[in-house]
Chain A
């Protein structure tokens, strides 16, 4: 483990008690230590998968289901809901998540909408 050579701050007067470059770290003047600092560990989500927000995964799945329904059953409203689901999933996603997954669900929902309209150019009728 590497030792950090010194505190990063600049202080004009070395040797004074208030100086962060005080050679005796741990004194009241400088609570910082030059001891090696542990590396960042990912937060609790790794140890507690139950705490993770499941929204983006659910929305992704829902979006795909709706877009398949829209494509197979030629239901326009299904395709539109799929587009909404994929947008919601994107908005809630974690930055570490795969963008490919997001893009694929998004493209699928857009294609569902486009195909529904190509096959049947009629405007969507309200369900009521």
Chain B
């Protein structure tokens, strides 16, 4: 808006300038040569004839290439000047006679009336004005682009620095616990690259493997999109923080069957809605962990009370209470299959594959304004992860718990099967029809007529048998019903 005002002011200045000049002409006080009018000397000077004013070229600036501004009634002023000049020239020696000016006075009246005609000033096209100010929108755009590029470079570097600070802090702990630290999947053999894998300007991955109990651990550093200016501006409205997501895939024999989660209430509510396993096995609302000495900010979602009892040992409680502000959610699940898949009913024919997983989501302190030093405060959380891996291996449900867990899983499977019963029936039906069709085709394609007859008879016999079986079943059902 400021630029708009400047622009308007800039336009006003030459316009008012030209207006002022016309005032001068009308007053006739300063009888000066109007320098800008190059054609003044060629003007036909006659008092009587009021010729049509030829086109005048007035340049608002000295540059000759400027566009024309057309004016009507401008000639009268020139004629006045010229009249005055000639009159001055003629009657230099004599005093002015009133008579001589009689006719002249009419002229000013006539010229006045003519001056009442509207003066149309055509706008000078901006690109001919030859001033940078008229291109202010373009300058704005380019400035915006430059700002975006600067922010991209700064944001990218900051994320990079944060990622490497995190890795340097955690490298020792990881290397002492895992044989393979860092693998980008390009080599067929498992070789440790010892480096973070950059997926994006704000996402860094690290795959660690080679430890007892677990198949592997994938660490994702999900930073804020500092490289995108739009995101930076959006974050000014809604603060968010960087996250570290750790997903440990356990070996099948190293974890018992249970589903358990602890974290901030908000995060748990969201996870319960989104995650397949939490929604199916943990039907209750998140419970407060105050019973175990956890701070109020944390809540617990569990499949059964025994799991909670087993998980909440002293060390775990210590970890959770001390680092409660950094913990977003912790999820141990043997039925982990990721978030609920939004699929159409017809596509769901099989339960999604499940893996025994431990999931950790940590918030980096600083709420967006993190510095590399903050990464050191996440080191104890990594120790918690390692401890949890060992604990998950050691923790076993007792007989009751195991029975309950098995019952739960059977129930979930049954529900799923019921839901998909119709689809499976349809699938089976279509499969049977396909088989029949294939057989018929085979029979048709058989060249030997004998073979054809034999195959047809075999098919007929099979169908008869099936019909008999069905009839027997129906009879049995009827008998039972009676």
Contact = CB atoms under 8 A, between A and B. Distances in A.
A88 B228 contact: yes
Interface string A95-128: 1100000000000000000000000011111100
A8 B192 contact: yes
Contact of B220 (A25, A43, A47, A94): A43
B338 A31 contact: no
A67 to B, nearest CB: 14
A50 to B, nearest CB: 7
B127 A48 contact: no
Interface in B16-75: none
A37 B127 contact: no
B137 A126 contact: yes
B209 interface: yes
A31, A38, A93, A121: most-surrounded residue (chain B CB, <10 A): A31
A40 B339 contact: no
* Residue picked from A26, A39, A41, most chain B C-beta under 10 Å: A39
Given A48-B338, A121-B127, A32 B228 contact: no
B175 interface: yes
Contact of B210 (A34, A51, A83, A91): A34
B179 interface: yes
B279 to A, nearest CB: 16
B210 A35 contact: yes
Given A4-B210, A123-B135, A95 B126 contact: no
B111 interface: no
B180 interface: yes
B218 A122 contact: no
Interface size classification for chain B: 35 or more
B199 A37 contact: no
Contacts of B135: 123
A95 B199 contact: yes
Interface in B388-422: none
B189 A123 contact: no
A44 interface: yes
Nearest to B226: A91
B146 to A, nearest CB: 11
A41 B249 CA distance: 12
Interface in A2-23: 2, 4, 7-9, 20
Given A38-B215, A39-B183, A122-B125, A31 B228 contact: no
Interface in B212-230: 212, 215-216, 218, 220, 225, 227-230
A44 B199 CA distance: 13
Interface of B: 4, 125-127, 134-138, 141, 144-145, 148-149, 152, 175-180, 183-185, 188-190, 192, 197-201, 205, 207, 209-212, 215-216, 218, 220, 225, 227-230, 338-339, 341-342
Interface of A: 2, 4, 7-9, 20, 25-26, 31-44, 47-48, 50-51, 80, 83-84, 87-88, 91-96, 121-126
24 contacts: A4-B180, A7-B179, A20-B176, A32-B176, A32-B177, A33-B179, A34-B210, A35-B210, A37-B183, A37-B190, A40-B183, A42-B185, A43-B220, A48-B338, A48-B341, A50-B339, A84-B144, A84-B148, A87-B152, A94-B200, A95-B198, A122-B125, A123-B134, A123-B135
Of all A-B residue pairs in the complex, the 9 with the closest CB atoms, nearest first, are A37-B209, A40-B185, A40-B183, A40-B207, A37-B180, A124-B137, A32-B179, A37-B210, A123-B135
Given A2-B189, A31-B177, 10 more contacts: A9-B176, A20-B176, A32-B179, A33-B211, A36-B190, A37-B190, A37-B210, A38-B190, A95-B198, A121-B127
